[in-house]
């Protein structure tokens, strides 16, 4: 899984906030306090994983979604939904409820 990148001027205002230490530096592990959703396959492995700020609705466009591909029960690829420009995007702008309808690359 990937860790969200801290962006001081995000283009999408849905990114989780990182907490700052006493010196004003971002605490990398502070991004882990997020809402989590998983959609499992028939062998109970996650196929889709989503992260958002706590309290996010699954119908709001505020989710970071990734799709996992398996070969012999091992993750062999992680892909991201394509945005309106057709580019793979790991930003917090997707709807969890629409995860199966996105194109991933």
Q: Where are the domains of the chain?
A: 34-101
Provide the pLDDT for residue 15. Answer: 66
Whole-structure pTM value: 0.74
CA distances to 27, 69, 78, 92 from 83, in Å: 29, 20, 16, 11
Provide the pLDDT for residue 14. Answer: 67
Give 10-residue mean pLDDT values along the chain (105 residues).
43 62 70 81 91 90 93 92 90 94 95
Provide the pLDDT for residue 28. Answer: 65
Q: Which residue has the tokens 């001027």?
A: 9
């Amino acid at each position: 899984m990937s860790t969200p990148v801290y962006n001081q001027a995000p283009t999408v205002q849905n990114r989780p906030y990182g907490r700052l230490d006493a010196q004003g530096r971002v605490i990398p592990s502070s991004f882990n306090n997020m809402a989590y959703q998983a959609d499992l396959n028939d062998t109970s492995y996650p196929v889709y994983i989503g992260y958002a700020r706590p309290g996010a609705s699954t119908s709001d466009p505020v989710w970071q979604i990734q799709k996992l591909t398996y070969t012999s029960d091992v993750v062999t690829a992680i892909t991201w939904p394509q945005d309106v420009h057709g580019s793979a995007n790991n930003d917090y702008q997707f709807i969890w409820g629409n995860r199966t309808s996105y194109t991933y690359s």
